[in-house]
Structure 1
Amino acid sequence: MDSVNWDAPAQLHERDDAGSDMFVEFRTLKTGALADLIAHVQTLPSEQKARLVIDATGVGSLNIHDITALAARPDFPASQTDA
């Protein structure tokens, strides 16, 4: 991913571990700019991070590996809001 729209509208979802392998339910935890949600995820305990997905307009679905990689980019902006 070359350039990232850090301001893209995004939603943070958490997988419900009660679902089966064939049917997984997600609940929306938070909405906001992509950069703010990535910054928020970075503050969470590692056991919770594995169940998270960010869906961002123009970017698609990001799992925790994608989220961590984006947070490590040199062009990742500091969060503008209180995560």
Structure 2
Amino acid sequence: MSGSLDWEAYCTLHRADDGGGLLDAVKSIRHGSLAELVRYIMLLPSERRTEYVIEKAGDHRLGYGEIAALARRDDFPFA
């Protein structure tokens, strides 16, 4: 993900192994902005971070590699 991002975009947090599918919306664990959920994942103990994915509008699921890359961006809003 290069270029400008909408850090306030609505996203949902899911377990990586929840299977997605028809009832995907009811399987979400938490919701918030992209920045909030990236921050949440990065504050977890490192051994647990790969257990979750962030789902953005349009059905794109961000795995830990993408989440960590977002957290390293110069424009990531830390506060």
After TM superposition, the score normalised by the length of structure 1 is: 0.75
Structure 2 residue ranges without an equivalent (≥5) = 21-26
The answer (yes or no) to whether the contact 1:7–1:34 under 8 Å persists in 2 is yes
Structure 1 residue ranges without an equivalent (≥5) = 17-23
Residues 3-53 of structure 1 show CA distances to partners (whole Å, capped at 9, x for unaligned) of: 21100000011134xxxxxxx536422100000000011110122111110
Output the amino acid matched with 2:19.
Answer: E
- Partners of 1:29 and 1:5 lie apart in 2 by 21
Q: Give the structure 1 partner of residue 66 of structure 2.
A: 66
Q: 1:76 to 1:58 in 2, by over 3 A?
A: farther
- Once the two structures are superposed, the pairs formed by residues 1-83 of structure 1 within 5 Å of their partners are 1=1, 2-16=3-17, 25=19, 27-57=27-57, 60-79=60-79
- Partners of 2:78 and 2:7 lie apart in 1 by 10
Query: Which has more helix, going by share of residues?
Result: 2
Q: Please list every run of at least 4 consecutive aligned residues from structure 1 whose deviation after the TM superposition is greater than 6 angstroms.
A: none
Query: Which has more strand, going by share of residues?
Result: 1
After TM superposition, the score normalised by the length of structure 2 is: 0.78
Aligned residues: 72
